[in-house]
Amino acid sequence: MTSHRTDLRSIARRAMIERGLLPDFSPAAMAELARIQTSATDQASQVRDLTKLLWASIDNDDSRDLDQLTVATPRTDRSVTILVAIADVDALVAKDSALDAHARHNTTSVYTSGDIFPMLPEKLSTDLTSLGEGQDRLAMVVEFVVAEDGAVLGSSLFRALVRNHAKLAYNSVAAWLAGTAPTPEGVTAVSGLDAQLRLQDQVAQRLKARRHQQGALSLETIEPRAVFEGDMLTALRIEQKNRAKELIEDFMIAANQATAAYLKHKGVPSFRRILRSPDRWQRIVEMAARWGDILPVEPDARALETFLVTRRKADPLRFPDLSLAIVKLIGRGEYVLDRSKDGAPEHFGLAVKGYTHSTAPNRRFPDLITQRLIKAALAGTSMPYRPDELEYLAGHCTEKEDAAERVERQLRKSAAALLLEPRIGERFDAIVTGASDKGTWVRLLDPPVEGKLATGNGLDVGDTVRVELVSTNVERGFIDFSRVVS
């Protein structure tokens, strides 16, 4: 019997190459890696020793490339100090080294059902530059104070030595916080960590509530992950948002805003992560009108958020499909160089200004660039990148991130094609997720897979349609449907 995992791995490698991404590290990069034997433990005077704080990581169950740790300290005025430690990847990966060249080319780790293609070799990303449990590691720390109403009162950045006291997983922590499961073993093993995490959860909820009041969008798209039994694919499991994921997400958004503010204060040209105001706003207005909701003529994040909250309450089962349609209409995020002295490009979906990527340097190159800029600003040394170099890299990172997402999407469809092969001729309910001159795409409501519709005349994003599965091509990740007209 053929191995699904082996087949998907081969497809993933070919997809990487076709999209201009490197599936393997160069001999020069591997030679550099061989010379790195230990983690960086620079004890310079400007590095604080914060190893005694109750740092912990929360990530996917199987994640080993741990980029962040968090800890909270209550204050007498009911505000809380949050510290986010970010792995100091630059301490071992020098700019313009062979390892850096690979990271600069791909710009991101690529996660597929066939294989993982890390931006940095696993010896680094899952070990020497990962904030692994029980390990002392150098980190960049973002400290910010959150008021009782969720406002961030102030922030600072500095370097520190940290230690991860507990490697925790999203699902078990979320279930415990929700009161539907016992305390995770990793929490009970560390004295005081339970209260620490509950405090972090409270603060994250404050941050989240304030962002959504300001118009951050409550989007909830379906993210299917391949489930294997041995080497055979058996199902696609939907990854749901949960309270622990939101905790980390809200802290990372605040940390990224604080980082952007710091670099702007220092007068350092730097990356911003933006999502422009949607060009297809009129189509979003038309979608809302179907349910009797009236949106303003001009793009308005707060009004859209109110509509999304209403629809989630009214139809939680189908809300992810509406979310997906909205995401497609809003468009893609991008990196831009911000040299402005006042104001900053805005991220429409997060309802924040002055937002960068800085919290995942093991798996995203823009974060490593930002880390180098921060370290130079802290030390008062010359900037590691020229403005014209940053301008080029902003476009390059956007392009390569798009390529990586296309690879991941193709592999999701290849995995889906494996499951759907025996079901050719069956009919399904679907929602239109893409409509352009290039074709029309639909997403099945169950199972959660996407494919191309042979004839989609008159259909647009958000429309519901009945389709029949016509063919699958596992190699190319193609799933083809025809429209069923009753």
Expressed as residue numbers, the domain containing 65 is 4-275+332-414
Residue 421 lies in a domain: no
How much is the pLDDT for 355? 77
Task: Output the six-digit token pair for 403.
Answer: 């390529």
Query: Does position 400 have pLDDT exceeding 60, yes or no?
Result: yes
Sign of the four-CA dihedral 384, 390, 392, 393: positive
Q: Residue 54: what residue type?
A: L
Query: Does position 354 have pLDDT exceeding 80, yes or no?
Result: no
Residue 318 lies in a domain: no
Which residue(s) pair with 74 in the sheet? Answer: 80
Residue 67 lies in a domain: yes
Mean per-residue pLDDT, 46-64? 92
Residue 21 lies in a domain: yes
List CB contacts of 178: < 8 A, sequence separation 6 or more: 242, 243
Mean per-residue pLDDT, 322-348? 73
How much is the pLDDT for 315? 83
How much is the pLDDT for 164? 97
Query: Does position 364 have pLDDT exceeding 70, yes or no?
Result: yes
How much is the pLDDT for 129? 95
Residue 366 lies in a domain: yes
Secondary structure of the chain as H, E, C letters: CCCHHHHHHHHHHHHHHHCCCCCCCCHHHHHHHHHCCCCCCCCCCCEEECCCCCCEEEECCCCCCCCEEEEEEECCCCCEEEEEEEECHHHCCCCCCHHHHHHHHHCECEECCCCEECCCCHHHHHHHCCCCECCEEEEEEEEEEECCCCCEEEEEEEEEEEEECCEEEHHHHHHHHCCCCCCCHHHHCCCCHHHHHHHHHHHHHHHHHHHHHCCCCCCCCCEEEEEEECCEEEEEEEECCCHHHHHHHHHHHHHHHHHHHHHHHCCCCEEEEEECCCCCHHHHHHHHHHCCCCCCCCCCHHHHHHHHHHHHHHCCCCHHHHHHHHHHHHCCCEEEEECCCCCCCEECCCCEECCCCCCCCCCEHHHHHHHHHHHHHHHCCCCCCCHHHHHHHHHHHHHHHHHHHHHHHHHHHHHHHHHHHHHCCCEEEEEEEEEECCEEEEEECCCCCEEEECCCCCCCCCCEEEEEEEEEECCCCEEEEEECCC
Residue 296 lies in a domain: no
CA distances in angstroms from 384 to 90, 265, 283, listed in the order given: 12, 18, 43
Query: Does position 342 have pLDDT exceeding 60, yes or no?
Result: no
* pLDDT, tens only, 111-134: 999 899 999 999 999 999 999 999
Pairing outcome for strands 116-117 and 427-436: unpaired
Q: Distance between CA 169 and CA 186 in Å, rounded?
A: 9
How much is the pLDDT for 44? 54
Mean per-residue pLDDT, 295-315? 88
How much is the pLDDT for 42? 61
Task: Output the six-digit token pair for 455.
Answer: 């004839």
User: Would you give the end-to-end CA distance of the chain in angstroms?
Assistant: 40
Closest CA to 337 of 386, 277, 380, 278: 386
Residue 185 lies in a domain: yes
pLDDT above 90 coverage of the chain, percent: 62
Mean per-residue pLDDT, 296-307? 87
Residues in the chain: 486
Residue 449 lies in a domain: no
- Using pLDDT thresholds of 50, 70 and 90, give the confidence band for residue 221: confident
Q: What's the domain count of the chain?
A: 1
* pLDDT, tens only, 156-210: 999 999 999 999 999 999 999 999 999 999 999 999 999 999 999 999 999 999 9
Q: Distance between CA 46 and CA 249 in Å, rounded?
A: 29
